[in-house]
Structures are given as structure tokens and as C-alpha cells.
Amino acid sequence: MSAAQTTTADQPPAKQKTSPGAGTGSAGTSGTPSRKGPGAAPWLLLAPCLLIIVLIMGYPLFRLVSLSFQNFGKSELWGFKEAEFVGFDNFSKVLGDGEFWAVVARTVVFAAGAVILTMVIGMLIALLLQKVSGFVKILISVALVASWGMPIIVATAVFKWLFDADYGVLNYLMSKLPGVDMIGHNWFASGPEGLAVIMLLVIWGAVPFVVITLSAGLTQVPKELEEAARLDGAGAWGVFRHVTLPILKPIIVMLTTLSVIWDMGVFPQVFVMRNGNPEAEFQLLTTYSYQQAFVVNDYSGGSAIALVTVLLLLGVVAVYMRQMLKIGEVE
């Protein structure tokens, strides 16, 4: 090494003048690479999907909103009259109707019962699958997928046969019990009993998805945490409450929200079970909206009921988003 090189190496490096924005990622003389935004590439990639969503969901929703603010009946449908804008008259008429609120209460009770039972039964079966052998787990999984893949109309026809008053298998089997005579019992003679049968059909169709999803979530629960909890003296319930349940909370919140949306939108099960003409005590929000629109031919009133249903479901989605954001903040 030459003397000149030695002298240069011993000298401390000269300090560079920094701009006020140095270290904050701004472009300038600091040498720090500037942070560029994502640009238009993500939006270009999302554009086809957004366009499809707007075409498939946007126009029907726009039409639903416009109909709910018009006086639209059979004359307007056939083009004999122009639809008249009536403002909030349809909503005033719907919200001032006592039958509508009875339908809302019935729908909420029906959906709450279906969601709670679906989640409880689904969780119990998912936990059971963790304890059985691989062969039994495969058999149960095949049965769940088969029931899940069964078309709703076919499943509804099977349930109609099971609960038939004259030829129903359930009445026949229950009548075999000592002191029980269910031959000829009509399960749909009263609204609560008939809705309980329909709720059972809805639960039967929803449980497989919940079980499969929760089973996937249970595989992510660390066995070390469960073992540590047991060493600390926690029983089976303590391990589930303090270890398993917190880890599964995001999945449970998602499944509960989806179940609420699905169960409040139940339509074919009620419609087919009651042979296309549900009685007043079987009416839920979806069937009630259909009846007002296509049976009474009050399309604007049916649209107003459907729009109120959408707003109720948006409230459920808002609660779901709030819970997910809170979970994200904790994590």
C-alpha cells in the first residue's frame, strides 16, 4: 500500500449534507431509494373482476332500489302505464304494516336458532373427528360431503317424505316407542312445529361446510399449547376454552356471519316444503317479499321488503368487519 493510499484511508470520511427529507424515504440527494406507489397495475388486474361484479350485481341492485321508490304493478309491467316515482311511500307502507314486523321477528328467531345449532353441532362433530381413527374420519367426511353436495330440492323432497303425516318414516319409528302414537301426525299443522322441521333441514345442509372448515382450523392449533394447558391442570373444557377457542375465533366469526346471511336468506326450503304457497305463519322475509311481488303483483312493495332485508344483512356484515378488525388489532 502506498503512502498516499495510507493517508487517504486514515482520513475520516467526509459527512454528506443531508436534506430535510433524508431518512424518510423521499427522493433527493440522500441516496435513499424513494418509495413508489403501486401504480395502476393492481387496478388493471382487478378491472375484469370489478366489471363482472358491476354487471352481475350492480344492475340488479340498482333495479331493486329504483323499483322500491316507484309505483310498479302489473300495468307498469305490461307497459300500459309509466312507473311513477313515489319517494318513500313504499317503505312507509311496509314499515307501518304489523305483518311485516311479525315476519321480521320470525325470520330473526329462525335464523338465530339455525345459526346457533349449526355452529354447536358443527363444532362437536369437528372435535369428534379429531378423536376417531383415520378410517372412521374418512367415512364421516364422505358422508358430510355427500350431504353437502345434495341439491336443495332433492334434500327438501327427502325431508318431506321423512315427515309425511301418512307415510313418514319418522312417525313410524316414533310410534314404535312405548306409549307414543305419531301415526297421522301432521308436522306442518302449526307454524312453529313446521318451521322447526324446516330449520332442521337448513341445519342438515349447513353443518358439513362448518365441520370441514373447523376441522381445517383445528389442525392449526399447536399441540404444544394444549399439552402445556393440560400440565397446568386444565381439563378438556379448559383446554378448549383457553387454547382452542381463541385460535379458532377468526374462523368462528366468519362462519357465524356467513350462516346468518344464508339462514336469513332461506327461500327454497320453505317454498318447496309448503308446495309453493307458504301460509302466513311460515312466511320469512324472502318468501314474504316474493309473495308481495309475484303473488300480489305489488313489485314495488316486494322490492322495498327485499331492500330492507339487504340493509339488515349489511348490518350483519358491518358487525363481522368490526370483529375482524378487532382481531387484527389484537394480533
User: For 218-237, what is each residue's pLDDT tens digit?
Assistant: 988 888 888 888 888 888 88
What pLDDT does 16 receive?
47
The answer to whether 71 touches 83, Cβ cutoff 8 Å, is: yes
Q: Is the pLDDT of residue 318 over 80?
A: yes
Give pLDDT tens digits for 119-174: 999 999 999 998 888 899 899 989 988 888 889 889 998 998 899 888 888 989 98
What pLDDT does 43 receive?
86
Average pLDDT, integer, range 299-327:
86
pLDDT band, residue 106 (cuts 50/70/90): very high
Whole-Å CA distances, 300 to 65, 271, 276: 9, 21, 21
What pLDDT does 223 receive?
87
What pLDDT does 319 receive?
82
Q: DSSP string covering 194-245, please?
A: HHHHHHHHHHHHHHHHHHHHHHHHHTTS-HHHHHHHHHTT--HHHHIIIIIH
Whole-Å CA distances, 115 to 16, 204, 212, 255, 279: 65, 11, 16, 9, 24
